[in-house]
Amino acid sequence: MKRVVILGGGLGGLSAGFMLSRTGKFDVTVVEKESAVGGVCGTFRHKDFLLDYGAHKVYSVIPGILAEFKMLLGEEAIQHKKKNGIYLFGQYLNYPISMADLVLKMGHKNLFQCGISTLKGMVARTGRKRKIESYEDFVVSKFGYNLYELVFKPLADKVWGSPETLSADIAKTRIPSANILDVLARALGLKKEKATTDARFFYYPKGGFGALADKMAREIVKNGGSVITETKAESFQLQNGSIRKVLLNVNGNKKTVEADIVISAIHLDQLLSIFPEGSGKNIENAGDLVNKLEYRSVILVYLFLDKEKVIDDHWIFFPGKDIVFSRIFEQKNMDRDMVPNGKTVLCCDFTDYESGILYTQSDKMLADKCAVDLVKIGLIKPEWVQDSLVRRFPRFYPRYGVGYKTDLGMIYDELQTVDNLLLSGRIGFYNYNNADHCLDMGRFITDSLLAGMPMKGIWEELKKRISEYRIID
């Protein structure tokens, strides 16, 4: 049996561990620094409430992945008919946006200006090929300048910061419509929404999204592997370009595990910091480059309300800069048994740089800001708020700056020189992807190793594969 050490017990690490261990050909050890597995896909208890880290749904258009999720969850999968909203022009619209809704609610002036700017853009682009580098280039070329200014720019600015310096890759991953004509055709019913543009339904694990991670961890153990929490990898022992041993700190005690293969599902800079000094020029180069990668951190503000229910939607987006959060979700709309009767909890999520004004603000200030904005838009009354809780996830959203691909490509190249190292997951790969993509990475790694594909080949195929992942709301 090949010994595989996996760093990180989020879905990136667990998916690889689960897929590898069930073949019976790999002896898997997953190492997680926290006391529970799941990372951002976990569920935690707060008083009488079970809470997820923001709105999470199980959905995938990758062949076979939804079936894997269903197999893991069995009877515990709740199927939901998805209901999403977006708050624009001071009103709620269904999401994805329908043209009838947009026309009705955006106002004649906005509509006229958007139409003119889109037409102008189309005429200006006729016969010319412009280089699309930034998020702004991409959106303006597809939807026109006015719609960019009105909808896409504020949203991107809020979630990612400065859209002018943001790579077009973010837009490609996040925006399902090909262009304004595509939106129009779908809105007018001339073209049907597809599974690749809109998740009409989704699954949710009974008892919380974290049930998925817990089930994977249990399966790994059942298959003879181990999942060690409260443990950090402190150092590697290298031999002839391979990692041979991983030195662990298990809750204060030292432990060494031998490795034939190491899969990292933790931040790239943390991975690089584990290599001992003198690991070679490649690791040094990667260490220099890794500081150029940018991240946005996630802030989650939970407001506990003395109210049975607030919204019908599973989640609602708030692109406007006048509202502090980017999205809200009501936990009980996923599974009503996670929240006590007569009470509810809204989770507001938003992003910032780790050193940003919002991220560094006190929990109380953040909770107050969210409550004020929820009152402002008419969703809650101040007297309903009984309690609040804030959770922060530093550096969770890879922020693709223009030109990030060159640096990231070089980091991958340097890491590939370690003969038995692979990456997995959103955090491990610095790739903006969802939980289903983590499962796909785990499956691909497993199939490739079983087929005897050389490590370099697995890297190349994985890089191609992850660049094609798309996020579907």
Ligand X SMILES: Cc1cc2nc3c(=O)[nH]c(=O)nc-3n(C[C@H](O)[C@H](O)[C@H](O)COP(=O)(O)OP(=O)(O)OC[C@H]3O[C@@H](n4cnc5c(N)ncnc54)[C@H](O)[C@@H]3O)c2cc1C
Contact predicate 49/339, CB 8 Å: yes
Contact predicate 397/351, CB 8 Å: yes
Task: Build a one-symbol-per-residue string for 225-254: x at contacts with ligand X by CB under 6 A, - elsewhere.
Answer: -------xx---------------------
CA count, 13 A, side-chain hemisphere, 7: 33
Residue 208 interacts with ligand X (CB under 6 A)?
A: no
426, 442, 443, 448: residue in contact with ligand X (rule CB under 6 A): 426
Task: Name the minimum Å distance from CB 39 to ligand X.
Answer: 2
4, 5, 6, 11: residue in contact with ligand X (rule CB under 6 A): 11
Provide the 8-state DSSP code for 74: G
What's phi and psi for 93, nearest 5 deg?
A: -120, 155
**Alpha carbon distance 371, 360 (integer Å):** 18
Task: Name the minimum Å distance from CB 107 to ligand X.
Answer: 31
Contact predicate 305/343, CB 8 Å: yes
16, 57, 171, 302: residue in contact with ligand X (rule CB under 6 A): 57
Distances in whole angstroms, Cα of residue 382 to Cα of each of 325, 339, 472: 17, 20, 34
Distances in whole angstroms, Cα of residue 132 to Cα of each of 83, 177, 433: 33, 16, 22
Q: Where are the alpha helices (DSSP H) in 323-473?
A: 363-376, 404-415, 425-429, 435-450, 455-467
Task: Name the minimum Å distance from CB 203 to ligand X.
Answer: 10
Q: With contacts defined by CB under 6 A, how many residues of the chain interact with ligand X?
A: 35
Residue 212 interacts with ligand X (CB under 6 A)?
A: no
Task: Name the minimum Å distance from CB 362 to ligand X.
Answer: 21
Task: Name the minimum Å distance from CB 342 to ligand X.
Answer: 26
Judged by CB, which is closer to ligand X: 15, or 448?
15
What is the number of the residue whose Cβ is closest to ligand X?
A: 10
Judged by CB, which is closer to ligand X: 34, or 260?
34
Signed CA dihedral, 322, 323, 325, 328: sign only: negative
Site for ligand X in 375-414 (CB under 6 A): 396
4, 5, 55, 261: residue in contact with ligand X (rule CB under 6 A): 55
Task: Name the minimum Å distance from CB 209 to ligand X.
Answer: 8
Residue 33 interacts with ligand X (CB under 6 A)?
A: yes
Judged by CB, which is closer to ligand X: 313, or 349?
349
- Inter-residue long-range contacts of 177-184, CB under 8 Å, 24+ positions, other chains counted: 177/96, 177/142, 178/142, 179/142, 179/143, 180/118, 180/142, 180/143, 180/144, 180/147, 183/97, 183/99, 183/143, 184/99
Q: Which residues bind ligand X (CB under 6 A)?
A: 7-13, 31-34, 39-41, 54-57, 232-233, 265-266, 270, 298, 349, 396, 425-428, 433-436, 438
